[in-house]
A and B are shown apart, each in its own frame.
Chain A
């Protein structure tokens, strides 16, 4: 089955840029989606189809996808960005939705 690998944690100072990676075999050939989950709240879609943003999501959130790695980039990080972030794809070979294990973003 298809596997997505995320680093368990990423730390960044306020105002800096956070990059959260999502690794998978030829992930560049798939559409990758990203979710933000804060404690006690439902997940929120922050990037879809590799690099598109839903309405209401700040331009500070961006995504890219190539080769074996997709990346969620958060520019000018704020304290309110502290959350768990998950990548997700649809694996058509198994007809399964696949999530990465999640990355906890800590704002120092």
Chain B
């Protein structure tokens, strides 16, 4: 059974940093691209970032490019999102999601339960 478990969400002050993790199990982690998707309170889904199975290519939404860094450790079956210079607009539930592709980006066939990041003073 595919499982994705996010962690690392917290209350952080504006301008601060946070690192999210997503522990994957139930599939061969390196064989799938992975994504972060977020949802602000009462808002729709917003794609944040993606990384190919090998980690060789990364993609970012314009709203986070230059502030967020996606990475993965295939030996630990773990996906990461390093978030810097956080602002109130980054407050959201952050989902880790699996892509059925390895090198291409397609869609999300499995989702974690989400991890809350709150940016507030």
A59 on the interface (CB 8 Å rule)? no
A37 on the interface (CB 8 Å rule)? yes
Bound complex: CA A96 to CA B50 (Å) = 9
State the majority secondary structure of interface residues on A.
strand
Contact B46 A99 (CB under 8 A): yes
Contact B112 A37 (CB under 8 A): no
Contact A35 B108 (CB under 8 A): yes
**Interface size of B in residues (CB-CB distance below 8 Å):** 19
A61 / chain B contacts, CB cutoff of 8 Å: none
Bound complex: CA A88 to CA B37 (Å) = 12
A42-B111, A97-B105 known; A1 and B62 CB under 8 Å? yes
CB distance from B37 to the nearest CB of A (A): 8
A90 / chain B contacts, CB cutoff of 8 Å: 105-107
B44 / chain A contacts, CB cutoff of 8 Å: 84, 86, 99-102
Contact A42 B45 (CB under 8 A): no
Bound complex: CA A88 to CA B45 (Å) = 10
B53 on the interface (CB 8 Å rule)? no
Bound complex: CA A44 to CA B113 (Å) = 11
Question: What are 14 A-B contacts with C-beta separation under 8 Å?
Answer: A31-B106, A33-B107, A35-B45, A37-B45, A42-B113, A48-B109, A54-B109, A88-B108, A96-B61, A96-B62, A97-B50, A97-B61, A101-B44, A102-B45
Which residues of B pack against A, CB within 8 Å? 35, 44-47, 50, 59, 61-62, 95, 105-109, 111-114
16 extra A-B contacts, CB within 8 A, seeds A48-B107, A90-B105, A97-B50: A31-B106, A31-B107, A33-B107, A37-B45, A42-B112, A43-B108, A45-B107, A45-B109, A48-B106, A48-B109, A86-B44, A88-B108, A96-B61, A97-B47, A97-B61, A99-B44
